[in-house]
Chain A
Amino acid sequence: MTRVTTTQSEDAKSAKSKAPRDAFGTASKLTRVFGVAAFVLTSALLVFALVISPPEVIQGESVRLFYIHVPSAIVSLYLAFSITLVGSIIYLRKKSIFWDLMAGAAAEIGVIFCAITLITGMLWGRPTWGVYWKWDPRLTSTAVSFLLYVGYLAVRKLELPPHVRRQRAAILGIISFANLIIVRYSVQWWRSLHQGTTLDPVDTQLDGSMLFSFFLGMLAMIAIGAWLLVHRFRVAWMEERKAEQSLAAAIVERQSEGRS
């Protein structure tokens, strides 16, 4: 008996080692492309942002936070949460589970990058403004966005019938996006400590290695975000399949109990 168990275990190990690498996990050619791009761009970003680019005349070394703070904000507030908005609208129109899962995956990544935006903003604010936090329109509206999307993720975990939960999450995904308009225009609508448009396409204040570092930061954060999004969506997809299997197994078990 022991011999049989050992053989089965060895067979399982052998099958796992012979299986293609992608058979286990959420990796694929697409994620490898994003992964390599993220690694190369992040490495280049660290070299340019922390070594090659010069300190700023007024802000000194703390300007280096700019190369991760602004890209994180753009990936979070304008890219990830936009995907959540689009996914939510498509779900409500077509009841597409694909888009519901995509909206949830994008929101989770958006929350991570929004947290990074708030933390790096606070760390940049201390040497620039003298305080970590100020109830400034841009800061406050960004914090509200963070909380709204944390709430959105909480709604996705509610113990409700799946279609009801998805519908409520989609509605919240659309409502939450309205606050991003306030985030975007807060520096124009109210007096704010926070600077306005970072890069004016007509008259940019950045040049040379500082501008290059910023674009590296943008590309690195987009590549990281894309890599995370594909993986997280696939995890969500498998969670969905597993939940369906568990439900089907429970129904079969209940039916067999009823017959016996």
Chain B
Amino acid sequence: MDAVVLGLEDGWQYVVPGYAITFGLIGIYAVWVVRRGRKLSAELPDDERRFLD
């Protein structure tokens, strides 16, 4: 199947991967940062997390 059959003509074949990569990359990075934060937070005493005040 080519792009025309899939209805991806006129640039959609570039737009869809562009948005998928953009929000996929941000999503993966966000999950990594939040998980790392939770892991470190559980390993440190409360007074070492003063930034939350």
A61 at interface by CB-CB < 8 Å: yes
Contact between B52 and A119 (Cβ–Cβ < 8 Å)?
no
Assembly CA distance A69 to B19 (angstroms): 10
A120 at interface by CB-CB < 8 Å: yes
Contact between B43 and A242 (Cβ–Cβ < 8 Å)?
yes
Per the 8 Å Cβ criterion, residues 8-53 of B in contact with A are 10-12, 14-15, 17-19, 21-23, 25-26, 29-30, 33-34, 36-38, 40-44, 46, 48-49, 51-52
Contact between B11 and A24 (Cβ–Cβ < 8 Å)?
no
Assembly CA distance A55 to B44 (angstroms): 52
A127 at interface by CB-CB < 8 Å: yes
Contact between B11 and A62 (Cβ–Cβ < 8 Å)?
yes
Given the complex, which residues of A lie within 8 Å of B42, measured CB to CB? 24
B18: which of A123, A228, A232, A245 is its contact (CB, 8 Å)? Answer: A123
Contact between B51 and A61 (Cβ–Cβ < 8 Å)?
no
Q: Number of A residues contacting the other chain (C-beta, 8 Å)?
A: 45
Assembly CA distance A23 to B37 (angstroms): 11
B14: which of A50, A127, A232 is its contact (CB, 8 Å)? Answer: A127
Min CB gap B15→A, angstroms: 5
B46: which of A23, A42, A46, A127 is its contact (CB, 8 Å)? Answer: A23
Given the complex, which residues of A lie within 8 Å of B18, measured CB to CB? 64-65, 68-69, 119-120, 123-124
Given the complex, which residues of A lie within 8 Å of B33, measured CB to CB? 26, 228, 231-232, 235
Residue of B nearest to A56 (CB): B11
Residue of A nearest to B37 (CB): A26
Contact between A50 and B41 (Cβ–Cβ < 8 Å)?
no
Given the complex, which residues of A lie within 8 Å of B23, measured CB to CB? 42
Contact between B34 and A68 (Cβ–Cβ < 8 Å)?
no
Min CB gap B32→A, angstroms: 9
Assembly CA distance A76 to B25 (angstroms): 14
Contact between A126 and B19 (Cβ–Cβ < 8 Å)?
no
A249 at interface by CB-CB < 8 Å: no
Contact between B12 and A61 (Cβ–Cβ < 8 Å)?
yes
Min CB gap A178→B, angstroms: 27
Q: Mask for A14-33, Cβ within 8 A of B = 1, else 0? A: 00000000111111100000
* Contact A126 B14, CB 8 Å, known A235-B37, A242-B44: yes
Given the complex, which residues of B lie within 8 Å of A228, measured CB to CB? 26, 29-30, 33
A234: which of B25, B30, B46, B51 is its contact (CB, 8 Å)? Answer: B51
Residue of B nearest to A116 (CB): B22
A60 at interface by CB-CB < 8 Å: yes
Residues of A within 8 A of B (CB): 22-28, 42, 46, 49-50, 55, 59-65, 68-69, 72, 112, 115-116, 119-120, 123-124, 126-127, 224, 227-228, 231-235, 237-239, 241-242, 245
- Add 11 more A-B contacts to A127-B14, A235-B40 (CB < 8 A): A23-B41, A25-B34, A25-B41, A50-B19, A55-B10, A60-B10, A63-B11, A112-B25, A231-B33, A234-B49, A245-B44
